[in-house]
Structures are given as C-alpha cells and as structure tokens.
Amino acid sequence: MNILTAYIVKEVLKGSFLALMLLLTLFNLFSFSDELKDLGKGSYQLHEILVYLALSTPTVFYDLVPSGALIGSIFVLGAMANNSEIIAMRAAGVSVFWIIRSVMLAGVFLVTISVLIGEFIAPETERASQILKTTAQNNRVVMQAKYGVWLREGNSFVNIRQIAGKSQLTDISFYRLDKQHHLQQTKHAQTGIFLGKNQWQLKNIQTSQLFKNSVTASNVDSELWQTSIAPDLLDVAVLTATNLSSYDLAKYIEFLKENNQKSQAFEAAFWSRILNPFVTFVMLLISTPFVIGIKRGTGVGGRLLIGIVIGLSFNIVDQITGHLGIVYNLNPLLMALLPSTLALIAALYFINRLKA
C-alpha cells in the first residue's frame, strides 16, 4: 500500500467512523426520548434505560454502517475536492478508478468490523436488552434456558417449553412452594390461550398436590389461570432476526420449513444480513462519482445533504421492497438484491460518465 492509498483509506475510515458516531448519537437520543415514556413502569428507571440503550447500540451500529460509509466518504472526498487534492491527484496521473479502488479498500476494513459486530456481538447484546427491558417493566424474574423460559410470580415458578404464538403457549409446567420453600404443588398444562384481562385458558391439566405423607393427583380438561403474566412478557423468548446471527437464522429457517411454518420474514432478514457488506461497498462506490462530478465550490453542507438524501432514499426503497416481498411471497433473495443492484447500476452509470 503506497502513501497516497494509505492516506485515502485512513481519511475515509476517519470520516465514516465520525459519521457513524454522529448517527449513533442521534439515534440513541431519539431512542432515549422514546424510552422516557416508559420511565417508572415497574422498575424501569433511568439506569435501566441507559443500560438498555448501551446493549442496543451494537445492533444499531451494524445497521448504520452502510449509511455511515456513504456520508463519511462523501464528506472526506468532498473536502479533498474543495482543497484541490483530487485535482492534484488526477493531474499526477491518478485515475478515477484508482481513487475508487482506494475507497473500496477502506470498505474492506469497515465491512470486517461490521461483520464481527453483527455476527458475534449484536445478537447477544440485543437479546440481553430485550430481557432487561421486559423484565424490568413487568417486575418479573425471567430466564431463558435450554429447556424453555422460566418466570417467577410470588411463590410460584412457571416453565414454558414452547411459545406457539404471542397468545398461545404449549407444554406449561407450574411449581408452587410453601413459605418454607418446600414443593407444595406441581401442575402441567398441554396448552394455554390468552383470553385478555390477565386470564389464560389452560387445557388438559394434570395436577399433583404434595402433602407431608401423601400425594394426590387430579386431571381436568380446562381451567382458568389468573395471572399478571401478559403476552408481552413472553416477547423475550420469541426469536427475532435482530437477536440471531446469520448461522442461527439459517438453522431457524430450516426448522420452520421442516415444520411447514412461514419463514418469509426470516428469509428476508437472512439475505439482508448476508448482503449488508455488499451494500456498504455500493454506498462507497456511489460516493465517488457524486463527489468528483460535483463542482469544486459545493460546500460541505451541500455534499452531506446529498449523502443523507441518497442514504434515506435507499433505506426507504429497501424497506418497501422487503415488505412487498413478505406480503406477496416473492423470492427473498431477489427482493433483497433489488435495491442494492439498482444503486450499483446507477453508480456504474455515473462512473462511466466521468473521464478517467
């Protein structure tokens, strides 16, 4: 790597990380304002809000990398253009394609960091943030384990093995302790359906009552379970695209297909995750023709505005195509590729118009 290449790579990385920090700060400020609406709900206090935002930051960082790369590179290359550095480079025989190659090299570093955070850090911290927020707001002890979800309500412990839907549970076990923490009653229900107003309809229940010298058992077809455990408390156990790595997403999609369940949303998220590095390179590629093709007198504010408009437009198109793909059951890979492919074609068109 020669000195000029190293200079461009360093400046693009500095600009991209600065843009990312600014975007992260803005996003967290808006999120903080939104979370304040729930301040005081249960034990969800200021400390919990700050920890929740900190745990959510890696996921937000991963999502913002393409936009940060675009804005940062436009800012840096624009400053070089205004300082006549780009003109000096081209006068010295440096081609546009050589400048693009240097910018793409900076993208390799950005993408590497992004993938490491998105695959190994963000899923774990996102899952932890969901558990923190939900348990704090509901004043419940919730633990996810190999054998389902555990919740505590007073002297009773509830184990839920499967969550069939937001309002339906299966394979539910109850354990009630007395004041001396001795097991007093066990109960198992095959299914549970939320009826509203803190009530669940349990079906196919087997109950065992434990006494000092004896045990009694009974079976009933149905009974009501009056509890403060609402469906939103169980959101922490629901798998989402944000708390799964690409590998876990692929395994979960395979599981859904084997069980004849809908997997379109997870497939769309999987391909979006896989194509995220490609999107970052496309955003960097777009920045070069827009900077070199714009007149040298254009200010920093104008260049940043261009970057923000391009980034927002891309995100809007990406969101629209993703939702259309899910609604109309279109090919997830094709719908994930469409926005970035269109952006790539536009970038190549404008690059082709520049004089090498």
Condensed to tens digits (0 to 9), the pLDDT of residues 12-39 reads: 999 999 999 999 999 999 999 999 999 9
Residue 161 has pLDDT above 90, yes or no: no
pLDDT above 70 covers what percent of the chain? 89
Q: What local confidence, expressed as pLDDT, does residue 349 receive? A: 87
Q: What local confidence, expressed as pLDDT, does residue 22 receive? A: 93
Name every residue whose Cβ is closer than 8 Å to that of residue 56 and which is 6 or more positions away in sequence: 31, 125, 126, 129
| pLDDT tens sequence across 337-349 | 999 999 999 888 8
90-94: long-range pairs with CB below 8 Å, 24+: 94/4
Three-class secondary structure of residue 43 per DSSP: coil
Q: What local confidence, expressed as pLDDT, does residue 217 receive? A: 92
DSSP string, 243-301: GS-HHHHHHHHHHHHHTT---HHHHHHHHHHHHHHHHHHHHHHHHHHHHHHS-TT--HH
- Per mean pLDDT, which range of 55-59, 105-109, 225-229, 317-321 is the poorest? 225-229
Q: Give the span between the Cα atoms of 72 and 47, in whole angstroms.
A: 32
Task: Give kind and range of the element (H or E) at residue 179.
Answer: none
In the structure encoding, which two tokens stand for residue 37, read together? 């609406």
* Nearest alpha-carbon partner for 283 in 109, 95, 68: 68
243-247: long-range pairs with CB below 8 Å, 24+: 243/123, 243/124, 243/126, 243/127, 243/130, 244/123, 245/118, 245/119, 245/120, 245/123, 246/119, 246/270, 246/273, 246/274, 247/119
What residue type is assigned to position 209 of the chain?
Q
Q: Give the span between the Cα atoms of 225 and 230, in whole angstroms.
A: 11
| pLDDT tens sequence across 62-117 | 999 999 999 999 888 888 888 888 888 888 888 888 999 999 999 999 999 999 99
Looking at mean pLDDT, say which of 200-214, 228-242, 299-313 comes out highest: 200-214
What residue type is assigned to position 87 of the chain?
I
Q: What local confidence, expressed as pLDDT, does residue 232 receive? A: 65
Place of tokens 């629901």: 238
CA-CA-CA-CA dihedral for 85, 87, 89, 95, to nearest 10: 140
Place of tokens 């253009």: 81
Residue 178 CA, chain-centre distance (Å), reads 42
H helices of 117-181, in order, are 122-138
Count the neighbouring beta carbons within 10 Å of the beta carbon of residue 174: 18
Domain boundaries, given as residue ranges, for the chain: 3-138+240-353, 141-228
What residue type is assigned to position 32 of the chain?
F
H helices of 93-244, in order, are 96-116, 122-138
